[in-house]
Amino acid sequence: MDRLDNTIRPYAWGSTTALPRLLGTEPTGEPQAEMWMGAHPGAPSRTGRGTLVEVVDAAPERELGPDSVARFGPRLPFLLKLLAAGAPLSLQVHPDLTQAKEGYADEERRGVPATAPHRNYKDANHKPELICALTEFDGLCGFRAPQRAAELLDGLGVDSLKPYVDLLHAHPEEAALREVLTAILTADPDEMARTVAETAAACDRLGGAYAPYADIAHHYPGDPGVIAAMLLNHVRLQPGEALFLGAGVPHAYLDGLGVEIMANSDNVLRCGLTPKHVDVPELLRIVRFEAGEPGVLRPEAGPDGEEVYETPTDEFRLSRYVLPAGGATHDLTLTTPQILLCTAGSVRAGEHELTPGTSVFVPSGEKAEVSGTGTLFRATVVA
């Protein structure tokens, strides 16, 4: 197995302290948002044999296993991250596989440069993802029932929100959510900025259920995404709890540290809370206007102490081991590729001693015995 040297991405929304605290390093004062573990060309992990992209490209079937290559192609199908949010991320959705293929092909056909700020599809893959909390973790996930969203907006007493309240009351669920999101994202920018300012002041004054939106407005003054965010469920995960984000589900992470795993894709369509491009027509084509509860996941007990976060996607499978002092050695050998990440304590994986924030890549079929005292996350594909 290969010890991984991973890149930390300094996105502006990143926490300045969460990753240094986990890693046992001194904060630099700069945001440290995400640590990437995998073979994504944007920031591939480095090994003693070269980057993980180079390692996989040199011998896909040996590194990934023939079954994984047959199903997902000659690349690592997932990307694992440590995500440390100190401010809200953009409100966003991801396409399904068919939409991604069609969107990518269309932009390629039209000659939209890969680096263009208005480019929606960076690749032809979908991007289901799972976030598992290591600390208390706040996020937004999926639409509230229109009636509940109307009550939340109406409770602010802001006159310019009344048309949205009326829309939420006046139509069937899917049509109501579609019409109100369309109205928010296409409103006159100056009028919307005034509405957001009044909304932020009311959220500050009322607190309670409105407190998360006051904080969002503080970070994104005048952004229509502040109003759009109030259409979504607010959820607070406790350590060990997780959220699965499927295609078309609007979401945003607000605050906290977590382990994130996703299909190996960069496809994001933004709804707001961002200075970046928002393609409203394409966004409305991708969003699933379905209300429902966020569906918090808790790990299910598997064999040999493994705790599995079950999801409907095959590109990744996330599980964890909480290893007690004096516990037995666990054999984690699989015919699929794995990344093992320590998040607490000290865990021995083969010849490698893992401390919080350190990880190894285990090729298909490679012997993988672990022992020690701590918490170990295992990322692989569904066999």
For 149-162, give one letter per residue: b (16+ CB within 10 A) or e: bbebbbebebeebe
Residue type, 356: P
Which SS3 state, helix, strand or coil, does residue 331 take?
Answer: strand
Asked if 79 and 7 count as a contact pair (C-beta separation under 8 A), the reply is no
Inter-CA distances, 129 with 33, 62, 136, 259, Å: 17, 26, 19, 11
Q: Which two tokens stand for residue 18?
A: 């969460």
Contact 141, 158 (CB under 8 A): no
CA angle, corner 130, sides to 180 and 251, nearest 5? 15
The one-character DSSP state at 329 is P
Count of positions (residues) in the chain: 383
β-strand pairing of 307-309 with 300-301 = antiparallel
Query: Residue 225 and residue 299: Cα distance in Å, rounded?
Result: 32
270 is catalytic: yes
**Closest alpha carbon to 142 in 232, 230, 212:** 232
SS3 151: helix
- The residue with tokens 């009344």 is 162
Name the nearest CA neighbour of 217 among 194, 233, 200.
200
Distance from C-alpha of 349 to C-alpha of 340, rounded to nearest angstrom: 8
| Tally of CB atoms within 10 A around 239 | 16
* String of DSSP letters for 307-372: EEE--S-SS-EEEEEEEPTTPPPEE---SS-EEEEEEEEEEEETTEEE-TT-EEEE-TT---EEEE
- Of 3, 46, 144, 270, which residue is the catalytic one? 270
Distance separating alpha carbons of residues 35 and 296, to the nearest angstrom? 24
Torsion sign (Cα): 201, 203, 204, 206: positive
Q: Which residues are catalytic?
A: 270
